Amino acid sequence: MSAPLSFITRRPPRQSSAPAVTGAKLSLNAAVIKPPAEEKEKSTKRNRIGNGFVLDNDHRMVTLTKLQSATGSLKIKFENAGGLADALWELHDGTQGDQKNIPLDAGKRPIFSINGNFDEVIIGLRHVRALRRLVFYTYPGVKVSIETFDGQILTCGDNLRLLSIYQLNGELYLRYSGSQFASREALTSTLAFNKV
């Protein structure tokens, strides 16, 4: 495991409002990820997580509140994963990697931890603003659910292949995609993880 990165600081820059994010790769539109035609956005409504909410092809994006985005941890369960999942991460400074080189935050914790055989992922949220995006690629038969610190749970549809988590102005956006990739290279290339 690598040493704590100096650029992950405990404090965000002083400012009266949330910082602007200029990174082109953070775009939530189709500039980076071009979904298949059948996956066109069904709605621009801003969904909030709540018990019973299902993230699927009809409800492809959900936004956590600023409290949910930065308190405690986000717990993601991958039932029946059996190791069949991949993780990619990108920090706000553009640093990228996968599950083999997860950096530590200022609290000396990995920015996310993978437990068991990819049965569970814990994402630390104290330094969430250092994170730009996290992407998890799963396989058929894996059931995915996400729990916030306040006990709110959302489940993902059975056809989930790509769970993307974007941090924008302190809010986490969780995005569903059923897109499949022929290879890991195709995945990293399509998602602009060029430095992995």
Partner 1 sequence: MPSQVLTKGANVSLTKLMPTASEITIGFSWKVIESAGFKTEVVPCAIACGQDGKAVSPEHVAFFNQLEAAEGSVQYQSDGTLSGGDDEQIDINLKSIPSNITTIAFVLYVNPDLRDPGTLESMRSGAVRVLDRAGNEVLRYDVTSSDTVGVSALMVAELYLRNGEWKFRAVGQGYTNGVKDVAEHYGYDK
Determine if 18 is a binding residue for partner 1 (CB under 8 A): yes
Write each residue from 130 to 149 as x if it is in contact with partner 1 (CB under 8 A), else as -, in one continuous string: -------------------x
Determine if 15 is a binding residue for partner 1 (CB under 8 A): yes
> Could you write out the DSSP letters of every residue in 22-76?
--GGG--STTT----GGG--S-----B--TTEEESSSS-EEE--HHHHHSSEEEE
Determine if 12 is a binding residue for partner 1 (CB under 8 A): yes
Determine if 57 is a binding residue for partner 1 (CB under 8 A): no
Task: For residue 139, give Cα distances in angstroms to 87, 106, 122, 178, 179.
Answer: 12, 33, 19, 10, 11
Nearest distance from residue 12's CB to partner 1, in Å? 6
Determine if 122 is a binding residue for partner 1 (CB under 8 A): yes
- Please check whether residue 134 is in contact with residue 173, taking contact to mean a CB–CB distance below 8 angstroms: no
1, 3, 6, 11: which one binds partner 1 (CB under 8 A): 11
33, 55, 61, 69: which one binds partner 1 (CB under 8 A): 69
Distance CA(135)–CA(85), nearest Å, equals 10
**Three-state secondary-structure class, residue 188:** helix
Q: Considering beta carbons, is residue 114 or 160 the nearer one to partner 1?
A: 114
**Which chain residues interact with partner 1 by CB under 8 A?**
10-18, 65-67, 69-73, 75, 106-109, 113, 122, 124-126, 128-129, 149-150, 170
